[in-house]
């Protein structure tokens, strides 16, 4: 469980993070999105008790990040922005070192290291020096390091960065599995489709402040408006737009198609189809136009001069 | 009993966890040929070379009838052989934190449950042990080859002394280098700052060489004690100022002088909470409020350093008295009658009369105290105390000599006390404030960086000088010119 309350961080005169209040329950995945320099890494470092907040507080796995930093660091697995491996070490001894730091006994850390390396396709590379690993392999090893001590909370910065599609899927499946195991996960990522796929909740940070937070569906509804539907007809529109204007909010139309928004598709769509059928208008397809997280994100970060996101 | 047990358990746990880091670092070190090759050369090749050099030098000196050179050369070479491998420890220690930061491997380490102390000790041990082991091996190789060649073995106490000296020198160099490494943002900056460690150590080794040739080995034990104290200070300082945030967050070594000046001025204006509003209005009211809050507040915080200084000054007087019995002034100096007959003329000749005399005395006192305060900054405050002690050693020495030669002590006190009533508190306060500045980097207050703590101590130094020390020194100078001579003359009956 992660709870932050007014978390703030100043570096001299620069405000890196300001008044961030978040809550992530066990078994939930929160995706922390934001432009470069928004404060994501600083927030993660405060949650992993590396940096001390200037104001506010946070509790991670039940421990206070200020008063119980050692306990927080024991309960957290951190995948850092840079993998930070010791390139002269072999994979086995590297994981053995970190396992020992996290308090695992020799058998437990060996077994756990082998299990995780197998899971991420690195089982055959235990005796290789880390300097010989490719970029993607190093990233996977860093993820193994973060998961080695089976932490309650995982803070993952760009977990699938530099990975091939197959490895990325392995990692995503692993993260989804963590959710099932009651772990709390925060991922920082610029891969919006991945965030949408994995996250139960999204928080968008801009200039150190959380400017939008909610489930992907809530954010889309709040920031992009009601669902956008597209209807394709068998023939041309021929003034149909005026006929249906009292039922739906028309956004755009073409020769034989129209896009419209409707608050309650479940209620309105059947009425619309009935009306069109009564008029003898043939409907080829009626489907929802996918609204992506990218649209939400861009709407939030490309806010007006007063800093407020441009709501739908 | 339970407390002792808990402490022992805590120390063992900290050491166990620190050794996890040490083991990894040492193993990693031995994979780097750039570290292994110099250690091997300095351990296995250098000692026999020194042996050959020493042997050649001794044979050359003996040809001209100077066998004493052999007695002094071998121990000296033993010290050199022990010192050279530990110079590598400086290189390892300098990059121990900042090197990991540059290689981006520091953050994962900082995110583990290791405490600051465990991490610090672990890395310090890793930087110290291999070069130290190399040093001991080098000493062993040198002694073995020396025994084989010329049958020379050192006396046991000398061997113990040199091993202890080598060890504490390594510890001091490593402790200093680790402090530098944890406070800089690049290996390049750390290497540049290493001069502040190398130069004093080089000078010290030269002084030790002179002592070795002079065969005053007991002085080396004094140096050992001084180095142990320096090491304790450096390790304490290193652990206290170790800051994960600065280590990780700071990318540029920036010296923003204007910002520092602004912060210092802010601390001068207010560094303590305003407990109550002053009842007096206007400029005078706010000045008095500032004085009460800031100057008297700084005075309260200087109590403990002032006590330390007082004890040191008392020790200085005692030392002066003790030295009077070792180096007495010849009695003939006190034998001439009418010793104080020309006292007033003497004052006139020296220029200690009137306003000129006041300014001379004030200038002299200011010069000494400003110098002491400046030295304090680079010596953890130690030099400030030493500079303040010197005149009191002289006073103790003179007073003891006067007493031993039957001169009335009341004259001595008459010549010292009237202005000392103001001058001594000024010296104590100025020195205590300088001591606080010097020690501010060793034990920074919680929540502040080293720089902020230092600026706060400097601000308090300024307040004490402006508010108390300067007025006291001016008053003491006036007393010393206009009152003290009159008291002396009154006692002389003139």
Residue B311 DSSP SS3: helix
C-alpha closest to that of A217 among A226, A209, A204: A226
Nearest to A74 among B104, B113, B248 (CB): B113
Decide if B107 and A50 are in contact by the 8 Å CB cutoff: yes
- DSSP three-state, residue A201: strand
Question: How high is the pLDDT of residue B277?
Answer: 47
Q: Cα distance from A194 to chain B (closest Cα, Å)?
A: 24
Q: Which of A51, A83, A97 sits opposite B24 (nearest CB)?
A: A97
pLDDT for the residue B462: 93
Q: Would an 8 Å CB–CB cutoff place A73 in contact with chain B?
A: yes
The domains of chain B are located at 2-249, 272-492
Distances (CA, A) of B202 to B43, B199, B207, B210: 20, 5, 9, 13
What does the alpha-carbon distance between residue B430 and residue B309 come to, in Å, rounded to a whole number? 10
Query: Using CA atoms, how far apart are residues B97 and B242, in angstroms rounded to an integer?
Result: 10
Distance CA A89, CA B298 (A): 53
Q: Closest approach of chain B CAs to the CA of A81, in angstroms?
A: 9
Selecting from B20, B107, B115 the residue whose C-beta is nearest the C-beta of A80 gives: B107
In the block, tokens 């404030």 appear at B433
Residue A63 sits at the chain B interface (C-beta within 8 Å): no
Per-residue confidence (pLDDT) for residue B445, from 0 to 100: 62
Backbone angles phi, psi at A289, to 5 degrees: -80, 120
- Whose CA is closest to B448, among B308, B158, B240, B171? B240
Count contacts between A and B (CB, < 8 Å): 65
**Looking at residue A236, what is its pLDDT?**
85
Per-residue pLDDT of chain B (494 residues; tens, 9 = 90+): 778 888 888 899 999 999 999 999 999 888 888 878 887 887 778 878 877 777 777 777 777 776 666 667 788 888 888 888 888 778 888 888 888 888 888 899 999 999 988 998 999 999 888 888 888 988 898 888 888 877 888 889 889 999 999 999 989 888 888 888 888 878 888 888 888 888 888 888 888 888 888 878 888 898 899 889 888 888 888 887 777 777 776 655 566 788 888 888 988 988 876 654 444 556 667 888 888 888 998 999 899 999 999 999 999 999 999 999 888 888 887 765 555 566 666 666 666 778 888 898 899 899 989 988 888 877 778 888 888 888 889 989 988 988 888 877 787 788 888 888 999 999 999 999 999 988 887 766 666 777 888 888 999 999 999 999 999 999 999 999 888 888 888 877 75
pLDDT of residue B249: 67
| Phi, psi dihedrals of residue A160, rounded to the nearest 5° | -110, 15
What's the length of chain A?
A: 312
What are the φ and ψ backbone dihedral angles of B76, each rounded to 5 degrees?
A: -60, -45
- A168/A136 Cα distance (integer angstroms): 9
Per-residue pLDDT of chain A (312 residues; tens, 9 = 90+): 999 999 999 887 788 899 999 999 999 999 999 888 889 999 999 999 999 899 999 999 999 999 999 999 999 999 988 888 999 999 999 999 999 999 999 999 999 999 999 998 899 999 999 999 998 899 999 999 999 999 999 999 988 888 888 888 888 888 888 877 788 999 998 888 888 888 999 999 989 999 989 998 888 888 888 888 999 999 888 788 888 888 888 888 898 999 998 888 888 889 989 988 888 889 999 998 888 888 888 888 776 545 555 554
Integer-rounded Cα radius of gyration of chain A: 24
Query: How far is C-alpha B2 from the chain's CA centre?
Result: 37
Contacts of A52 in chain B (CB under 8 A): 245
Dihedral pair phi/psi, residue A206, rounded to 5°: -140, 130
Beta bridge partner(s), residue A286: A231
pLDDT of residue B337: 55
Residues in chain B: 494
Reading the block at residue A112, the tokens are 């756990």
C-alpha to C-alpha distance for B97 and B189, rounded to whole angstroms: 12
Contact predicate B61/B52, CB 8 Å: no
Residue contact B110–A74, C-beta within 8 A:
no
Answer whether B28 sits within 8 Å of A48, measured CB to CB: no
- Residue A90 is given by DSSP the state B
Task: Render pLDDT for B99-158 as a digit per residue (tens, 0 to 9).
Answer: 888 888 889 999 999 998 899 899 999 988 888 888 898 889 888 888 887 788 888 988
Cβ neighbours, 10 Å, residue A201: 20
DSSP assignment, residue B328?
A: P
How, if at all, do strands A184-188 and A153-157 pair? parallel
Q: pLDDT tens digits for B429-483?
A: 999 999 998 888 776 666 677 788 888 899 999 999 999 999 999 999 999 988 8
**Which CB contacts under 8 angstroms, 24+ apart, belong to A91-97?**
A91/A117, A91/A122, A91/A125, A91/A126, A91/A127, A91/A128, A91/A130, A91/A133, A91/A141, A92/A126, A92/A127, A93/B27, A94/A130, A94/A141, A94/A145, A95/A141, A95/A144, A95/A145, A95/A148, A97/B20, A97/B24
| CA dihedral sign of residues A121, A125, A131, A132 | negative
Q: Under an 8 Å CB criterion, which residues of B touch A? A: 17, 20, 24, 27-28, 31-32, 103-115, 244-245, 248-249
Assigned token pair, B53: 């050099």
Determine whether the interchain pair B111/A80 forms a contact, defined as Cβ–Cβ distance below 8 Å: yes
Cβ count within 10 A of residue B130: 20
Residue of A45, A51, A100 lying closest to B20 (CB–CB): A100
Provide φ and ψ at A78, rounded to 5°.
Answer: -115, 125
CB–CB of B20 and A48 under 8 A?
no
> Which neighbouring-strand residues pair with A203?
A32, A213
Partner-chain contact A73 B31, CB within 8 Å: no
Out of B105, B111, B248, the one facing A86 most closely (by C-beta) is B105
């Amino acid at each position: 469980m992660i709870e932050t309350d007014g978390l703030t961080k100043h570096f001299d005169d620069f405000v890196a993070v300001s008044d961030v209040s978040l809550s992530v329950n066990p078994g939930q995945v929160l995706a922390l999105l934001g432009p470069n320099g928004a404060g994501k890494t600083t927030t993660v470092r405060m949650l992993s008790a590396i940096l001390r907040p200037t104001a506010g507080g946070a509790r991670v796995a039940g421990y206070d990040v200020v008063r119980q930093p050692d306990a927080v660091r024991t309960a957290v697995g951190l995948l850092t922005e840079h993998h930070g491996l010791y390139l002269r070490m072999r994979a086995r001894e590297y994981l053995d070192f970190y396992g020992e730091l996290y308090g695992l006994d020799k058998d437990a850390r060996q077994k756990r290291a082998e299990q995780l390396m197998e899971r991420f396709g690195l089982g055959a590379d235990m005796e290789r020096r880390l300097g010989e690993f490719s970029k993607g392999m190093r990233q996977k090893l860093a993820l193994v390091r973060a998961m080695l001590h089976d932490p309650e909370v995982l803070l993952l910065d760009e977990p699938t960065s530099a990975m091939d599609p197959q490895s990325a899927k392995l990692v995503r499946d692993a993260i989804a599995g963590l959710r099932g195991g009651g772990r709390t996960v925060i991922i920082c990522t610029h891969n919006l489709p991945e965030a949408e796929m994995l996250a139960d909740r999204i928080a968008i940070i801009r200039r150190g402040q959380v400017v939008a937070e909610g489930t992907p569906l809530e954010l889309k509804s709040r920031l992009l408006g009601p669902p956008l539907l597209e209807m394709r007809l068998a023939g041309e529109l021929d003034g149909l737009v005026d006929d249906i204007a009292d039922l739906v909010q028309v956004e755009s139309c073409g020769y034989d198609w129209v896009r419209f928004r409707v608050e309650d598709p479940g209620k309105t769509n059947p009425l619309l189809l009935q009306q069109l059928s009564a008029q003898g208008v043939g409907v080829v397809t009626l489907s929802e136009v996918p609204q992506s997280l990218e649209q939400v994100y861009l709407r939030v970060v490309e806010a007006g001069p007063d800093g407020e996101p441009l709501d739908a | 009993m339970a407390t002792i047990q808990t402490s022992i358990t805590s120390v063992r746990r900290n050491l166990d966890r620190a050794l996890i880091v040490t083991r990894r670092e040492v193993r990693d070190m031995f994979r780097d040929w750039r570290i292994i090759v110099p250690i091997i050369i300095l351990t296995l090749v250098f000692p026999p070379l020194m042996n050959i050099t020493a042997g050649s030098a001794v044979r050359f000196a003996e040809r001209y009838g100077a066998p004493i050179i052999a007695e002094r050369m071998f121990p000296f070479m033993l010290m050199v052989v022990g010192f050279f491998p530990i110079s590598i420890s400086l290189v390892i220690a300098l990059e121990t934190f900042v090197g990991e930061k540059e290689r981006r491997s520091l953050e994962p380490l900082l995110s583990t449950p290791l405490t600051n102390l465990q991490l610090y000790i672990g890395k310090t041990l890793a930087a110290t042990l291999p070069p130290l082991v190399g040093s001991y091996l080098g000493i062993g190789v040198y002694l073995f080859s020396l025994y084989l060649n010329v049958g020379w073995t050192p006396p046991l106490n000398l061997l113990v002394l040199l091993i202890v000296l080598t060890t504490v020198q390594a510890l001091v160099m490593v402790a200093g280098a680790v402090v530098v490494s944890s406070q800089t943002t690049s290996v390049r900056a750390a290497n540049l700052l290493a001069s502040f460690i190398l130069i004093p150590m080089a000078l010290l080794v030269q002084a030790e060489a002179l002592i070795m040739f002079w065969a005053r080995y007991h002085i080396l034990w004094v140096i050992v004690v001084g180095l142990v104290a320096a090491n304790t200070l450096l390790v304490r300082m290193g652990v206290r100022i170790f800051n994960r945030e600065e280590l990780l967050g700071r990318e540029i070594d920036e010296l923003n002088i204007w910002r520092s000046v602004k912060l210092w001025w802010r601390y001068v204006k207010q560094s303590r909470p305003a407990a109550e509003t002053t009842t007096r209005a206007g400029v005078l009211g706010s000045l008095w409020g500032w004085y009460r809050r800031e100057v008297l507040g700084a005075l309260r915080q200087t109590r403990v350093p002032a006590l330390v200084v007082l004890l040191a000054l008392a020790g200085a007087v005692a030392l002066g008295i003790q030295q009077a019995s070792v180096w007495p002034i010849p009695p003939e100096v006190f034998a001439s009658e009418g010793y104080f007959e020309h006292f007033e003329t003497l004052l006139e000749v020296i220029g200690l009369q009137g306003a000129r005399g006041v300014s001379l005395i004030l200038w002299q006192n200011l010069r000494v105290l400003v110098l002491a305060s400046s030295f304090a900054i680079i010596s953890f405050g130690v030099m400030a105390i030493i500079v303040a002690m010197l005149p009191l050693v002289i006073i103790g020495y003179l007073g003891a000599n006067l007493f031993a030669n039957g001169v009335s002590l009341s004259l001595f006190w008459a010549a010292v006390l009237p202005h000392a009533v103001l001058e001594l508190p000024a010296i104590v306060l100025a020195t205590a404030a300088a001591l606080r500045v010097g020690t501010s980097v060793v034990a920074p207050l919680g929540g502040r960086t080293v720089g902020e703590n230092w600026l706060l101590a400097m601000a308090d130094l300024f307040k004490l000088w402006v508010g108390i020390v300067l007025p006291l020194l001016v008053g003491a100078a006036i007393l010393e010119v206009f009152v003290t001579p009159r008291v002396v003359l009154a006692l002389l009956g003139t």
